[in-house]
Amino acid sequence: MTKLKIKTGDTVRVIAGDHKGAEGKILRIDREKNKAIVEGSNVVKKHEKPSAQNPQGGIVEKEAPIHVSNLSLIDPKSGDATRVGFEIKDGKKVRVAKKSGELL
């Protein structure tokens, strides 16, 4: 498993691929595959068999994972894409936006 600079709940922008420019919150992260599921981005149609949760079955739209290298964190101050750095504040390691210096 690798250390990622993004977390569940962060607002990110897709910077590469078919959904470039899309923004959304991270719903789930798969650390093994280095992929994240972003709300409202990379939506695919999936054929599902009837089940207890979905007795009708049919075609369902759901978000597919995107590689974390294609995501960039949104700076809370300016709303622009930014890189992430780490600093030690009060004995704790915290994430910092490189563009504005704002704590994340």
**pLDDT tens for each residue of 42-93:** 899 999 999 898 888 899 899 999 999 999 999 888 888 889 899 998 899 9
Q: Residue 73: which of 39, 94, 40, 96 has the closest Cα? A: 96
The CA distance from 29 to 67, in Å, is: 10
The CA distance from 73 to 103, in Å, is: 12
Domains of the chain: 11-97 (2.30.30.30)
Place of tokens 């899309």: 22
Residue range 1-55, pLDDT digits in tens: 678 888 899 899 999 988 899 999 999 999 999 999 999 888 999 999 998 988 8
